[in-house]
Structure formats: structure tokens, C-alpha cells
Amino acid sequence: MAIEQAAGPRVISVTKNLLVKNAEAAARNREAFRCRGLYVVNVLSSPGSGKTALLQATLPRLRVRAAVVVGDLATDNDARRLHGTGAPVVQITTGNLCHLEADMVQKACAEIDLAGVGLLFIENVGNLVCPASYDLGEDFRVVLMAVTEGEDKPRKYPKMFKTAGAVVVSKTDLAAAAGFDRAAALESIRQIAPQAEVLEASARTGDGMAAWCTFLEARVSSAPTG
Amino acid sequence: MAIEQAAGPRVISVTKNLLVKNAEAAARNREAFRCRGLYVVNVLSSPGSGKTALLQATLPRLRVRAAVVVGDLATDNDARRLHGTGAPVVQITTGNLCHLEADMVQKACAEIDLAGVGLLFIENVGNLVCPASYDLGEDFRVVLMAVTEGEDKPRKYPKMFKTAGAVVVSKTDLAAAAGFDRAAALESIRQIAPQAEVLEASARTGDGMAAWCTFLEARVSSAPTG
């Protein structure tokens, strides 16, 4: 038995106003990013899918200088973890807000040294729902999906996966222990997000990291500038 | 470097109105649940922490008849998985709404056969942020935290953990493979959620399931009725 439930019009109209204002701020971000030749990647997933671990393993391998803006409700744990890579990092703590918005990213960028930086990662709040609706002015969205989370995540959170330019299947070192059904997961991604490049990586063992970094570098170097 | 970001007053006032309406519906649910002698548990976690797997392993072990209301943005995958246990199950699909609200639960309960049922599980949308703010009329909240997610989840999502009556550390069979630091995780839970009973369980191996079921049965039998 299933009940379909839509958000009431009251909620929708308020959300629309917020989204219109956010879209304006995102457009300003996008213009500013392009002007300074900055390629911007919005990194999204459930809590605990390994966004920070992926970035920790990515930053030392990249042949382009990168910086990170990282969002969390509370703590600067992730910024401290990323600080060790030597990359410029700024943490946004959102309080109880479940996603980053474009104006927060704009403020964070004013606080960070972007000299020589060609790639900016925005590590969003861990949440497979709300951040999908908020454009931050990024060039590209990456959605992580850990092998421990269940193969049907794209089907259950379609909006997020439909906006992904790439899906990274993360924590592949745990695939056997978790009984991960790779074929089912890839099929679920293909069905919901046929537009997305699919990569598989383990930040812990390094498997797949070279391909992921090459992919990112290619995106950065093919981006239009000016 | 850290930037603290609060939601603007515009957002807060709208959210307050929604929350007042939800609180009224939750109070009605609570009264109705008590009248029919129904103990209600709101089950919360990130996407992929194993809420459905825990319930699949719990239902056949319980000595009290239970039913499930399960929420997801899309698909009735979880309801289908739970249907095999023989328990009455109803799925709510929320569209793009990131949490269940009390009136949805009320509607779902009208669609389910609660004869002889003493315990109702409400499996919320996978999200560690938004569902924390929505009372559904439950007696009790259980928050799952999988060993694969990182030990600091309570510190990063404090509101959710502060409202928990119990925290279930799930997927304990993956602890060694994931390099889970049990002491750090328990310390993080104790610091943020000292009120919460802490249980550890693997739905896959059955480890800890007996203690979890005994805990639930004790809560049901000690609940006031009428």
C-alpha cells in the first residue's frame, strides 16, 4: 500500500522565493568564478559517504591547485582534516540549515586565498535531499554513493542523482565485506542518472583515484574561461 | 577558518508556522496512539544506515505485534522488503519533501490494519537533519549510526542525536573492515546524547538483535495506556 504525498502549495511558494533569490546569487557566483578562471565542483552525498576522505585523497594527487569550501551543521572537523593537505580550506557551519546556499559560498570565497587556484571544491552538507535544490554557481556536481549504503539510492533520491555530472561509487574497499551488488548499483545509476559519468574509488586504498583525478583535470582544462 | 551561518529570519518564521501546525497534528496523533494502546517509535538515520534492514531483522524476533509506516522520497522498495515479514506495512512517498510530517503519518495510519498491533515503527526519510525538527507523535526516537559512517556523526548532526531516546550503532559486522573506532564513536554519542540508550547491532549476523528486541519490548510494556 502506498500513499503519495505532495508538499502543500504554502511550502512550495516560500521555497520558490528562496530558490529565486538563491539562483540570483548562484548566477553572480558563476560569473565571478568564470572571471577568475576557477572551475567549481559541488560535492554531495549522504552523511558518511566519504566526501572528506575522497577530497583528502584527491588534493595531493591533483596536478592543478585546488581549494575547498566545506559545509557542516556543526564542528570544523572536516576543515581540520583537509587542512593537512596544504590546500586553502574554509569551513561554513550552517547551524541547523540542511544545505549550503549560494550566498554562503560567496562569503566563504571572500575569506579564502584563491591565488593560483584553478579548482574549487564545495563539500556540501551531508544530505541527499535538500542540497539538490540549491545551485551554488558550480560548474559540475559530483554525487558520492558508498558501497555500504544500498544499491537503490539513486532510485530513492532521484532528484539528487538526476543533477549529477558524475557519480563516484565510494569505499569500494568495503564492497566484498558489505555484500555490494555492483551490477545492481550501476544499473540503478544508469536508470536514474544516464547523464552522469560513473567512477569507482577507494580513498583508503587509492584504487580508482588516478582515474578520478584525471577525470577532474580534464574537466578543468576543457572549461571555457573569461 | 570558519564562518558561522544562521538561517535568515524569513526562513525561521515560515518554518515556525509549519512546526506549530505539525506540533498540533503530532499532539492529535499522540492522543490517538495512546487511546489505542499503540507504542510508537520514530526510526531515523542517514540514507543507507540500515533502517529497513534493522526492521526486517527485528519484526520476526519481537514478541509484540508490530506494524510499519515507511517514508521515502520515491519508490516502495522498503515497504516491499518489509512486507515479507508479515507485518502490516504502508509506504508514504514524499515526492521531494525531506522528512515525514505528523499529518502524513495520521493518513497512513488510516490505511493500515492496526488490530492487535502494540508497536508501530515509523521509518522516516533517510536524512540526519530535517526530520529532527518534526514531531510525529511518537513515544520514542531511535537514531541509527552505521559503523561505516564515521565516528563523529553525533557531533556533526547534534540536533538529531540530542532528540534520540536510543542510538543504535548498526552494521557492526563491518566494524573491522571499516576500521571503526568504537571508543571514539561511543564517546561522541555520550557527549552529544547522554540521554540516549546505546545499543549495537548487526541485522545481517543477528549480533545484538536480542538485546535490541528486549529493550523495545520493555519500553512497550512499561508505557502508560488509556
Backbone angles phi, psi at A189, to 5 degrees: -65, -50
The alpha-carbon gap from B224 to the nearest alpha carbon of chain A, in Å, equals 30
> Chain B contacts of A169, Cβ < 8 Å?
none
A190 contacts: CB under 8 Å, gap ≥ 6 = A198
Give the residue from chain B lying closest to A176, CA to CA: B177
A128, A170, A187: best to mutate for the B interface, most B CBs within 10 A:
A128
Q: ipTM, 2 decimals?
A: 0.91
pLDDT tens sequence across B179-197? 999 999 999 999 999 999 9
Top residue of B96, B104, B109, B130 to mutate, by most chain A CBs within 10 Å, is B96
Q: Which pLDDT score is estimated for A2?
A: 63
The tens digit of pLDDT for each residue in B79-92 reads 999 999 999 999 99
In angstroms, the separation between the Cα of residue B94 and the nearest Cα of chain A is 5
pTM > 0.80: yes or no? yes
Q: What value does the CA radius of gyration of chain A take, rounded to a whole number of Å?
A: 17
Interface test with B, best of A156, A188, A204 (most B CBs within 10 A): A156
The C-alpha cell that represents A48 in the structure block: 558518511
In this prediction, residue B16 carries a pLDDT of: 73
CA distance B222 to chain A (A): 31
CA dist B159 and B37 (Å) reads 29
| pLDDT value of residue A224 | 78
Q: Do B73 and A158 touch (CB under 8 A)?
A: yes
> Facing residues of A89 across strands?
A68
pLDDT recorded at residue A223: 86
Which chain B residues are Cβ-neighbours of A127 within 8 angstroms? 98, 127-130
Is B40's pLDDT higher than 60? yes
* Residue B67 clears pLDDT 70, i.e. is over it: yes
Kindly state the average pLDDT of the residues B196-223.
97
Q: What letter represents residue B218's amino acid?
A: A
- Contact list, B48 vs chain A (CB under 8 Å): 46, 49, 146, 148-150, 153
CA-based nearest residue in chain A for residue B76: A2
Instruction: Decide: helix, strand or coil at residue A130.
Output: helix
Whether B128 and A127 lie within 8 Å, measured CB to CB: yes
* Weakly modelled stretches of chain A, pLDDT under 70: 1-15, 225-226
**d(C-alpha B48, C-alpha B72), whole Å:** 12
